[in-house]
Amino acid sequence: MDKRSEGGVSLAFATQRQMKTVIEGIELQLAHPDELSIQWIGQEEAMRQLMAAWMVIHERDIPMNPRLLGKPGVGKTTMAYAAGKRLGREVYILQATVDTRPEDLLVTPVIESASRIKYVASPLVSAMIRGGVVILDEGNRMSEKSWASLAPLLDNRRYVESVVAGIKIKAHPDFRLVATMNEDSSTFDLPEYIHSRLQPQILIDFPEREEELAILRENVPFSPDEVLQYVTDFLQQAHAADESYTVRDGVNIARFVLKLSKESGQGARTLFAAALRGVLGEEALRYGPRR
């Protein structure tokens, strides 16, 4: 059931086109949700855990704020988006970077004319107001100062305060949040008070062979299956050697093989090594198919 009519702010939730609201006398321009043509394949246990974390099972219960962990390219954002769509909600993606400021997460002032300032809500705040799902993508790239602005949102208070606009914004009951985090060195350590608020931790690992092949078929549907089998074999050998190559790399390899083949008129298998070298570098050739 759609509960958006139960909200306490002055937004007409029923219409997708209504992208403004007024809170405490301040008009906010809302962000548009992301509309992506993607499908989650495999790893249903991880999906089940995410959906369970978002459940509310008692009137005194609140949804949890899960963290999706894994190497870059394993599909964390794809899974989070697919989960939001399974709930039938609008999904908003906010890309975190080392330069993300608190106002980028909440409300940004924009000079509209000589005498007027427009306040623009972030995707996160827009999801809060409209009862959607926000994906805080690569959240561990943000500094502690930015995370601090979200602390009250991530506990039972479920609100944020915009210093720029001078307002407090409460989350709609249907609002859900998930953060994705890469396992690499170019990230900040989460402060402990945020770490305890982003639970549970859900690990997204490399897919099994048949799942990986199905993902490639979904993303490169115009490819001959023989090419996708080559790519899957390469990825599975790389996974076994604990390399960081992911299905995202596989999609790029398959597309590049097909483009090289189209341009040169040569067979795809002949060009597989060239595609590997072009996408991932010389060191990837050790996992390529043997002649």
Alpha-carbon dihedral sign for residues 166, 117, 146, 22: positive
Reported as a single tens digit per residue, the pLDDT across 16-63 is 455 899 999 999 999 999 999 888 888 889 999 999 999 999 999 999
- The answer, yes or no, to whether residue 212 has pLDDT greater than 50, is yes
Alpha-carbon dihedral sign for residues 276, 280, 285, 289: negative
Averaged over 266-289, what is the pLDDT?
90
Reported as a single tens digit per residue, the pLDDT across 89-109 is 999 999 999 999 999 999 999
pLDDT band, residue 9 (cuts 50/70/90)? very low
pLDDT band, residue 203 (cuts 50/70/90)? very high
Please give the CATH number for the structural domain made up of 4-203.
Answer: 3.40.50.300
Q: Where are the domains of the chain?
A: 4-203, 209-287
Residue 186 is predicted with a pLDDT of: 56
Strands 133-137 and 176-182: parallel
Averaged over 126-143, what is the pLDDT?
95
Averaged over 268-289, what is the pLDDT?
90
Alpha-carbon dihedral sign for residues 164, 165, 167, 170: negative
Strands 91-95 and 133-137: parallel
